[in-house]
Amino acid sequence: MFELEFSKVDRLLKQSKALWQIHSFSCTDFPWEKQFPILANKLWAIADSELDIVDADHELLVATLSPSLKEDLVIQSAEWELELLSRDEPKESVFTLQTAIHSTDLTHFSAGIKGRKWQQITR
């Protein structure tokens, strides 16, 4: 039922791996800056006071950064399904993580996932 959708998401995650699979606190710059210079310049241009605001609002984050990412992808002649980033969340879910997984098992799945990220996953 969801095989095609998962396949698209999987492909996008693999394509964008350089952008998200980094060691956050061991970097002083963006390891992918040479590959995505327009996106990097856009990020460096965001004032520190605005970063938390942009990061907290998914729609604002996508609207702010996707034009720069698209420019970099055009230069690379790469095609990513960036519309997957803008999809509306369903109003009602068929199930939630809490109902799909017994609460005693949640601690097993949360092992190694830092607090804020785990909150995002379980929302």
What range does the domain containing 99 cover? 91-123
For residues 99 and 77, state if they share a domain: no
For residues 17 and 67, state if they share a domain: yes
Number of domains in the chain: 2
For residues 111 and 62, state if they share a domain: no
For residues 18 and 72, state if they share a domain: yes
For residues 58 and 12, state if they share a domain: yes
For residues 34 and 62, state if they share a domain: yes
Q: Say how far apart CA 114 and CA 110 lie, in whole Å.
A: 8
Q: Say how far apart CA 45 and CA 32 lie, in whole Å.
A: 16
Tell me the pLDDT tens digit for each residue of 57-102: 989 999 999 999 999 999 999 999 988 888 666 545 555 555 555 6
- pTM exceeds 0.85: no
For residues 101 and 117, state if they share a domain: yes
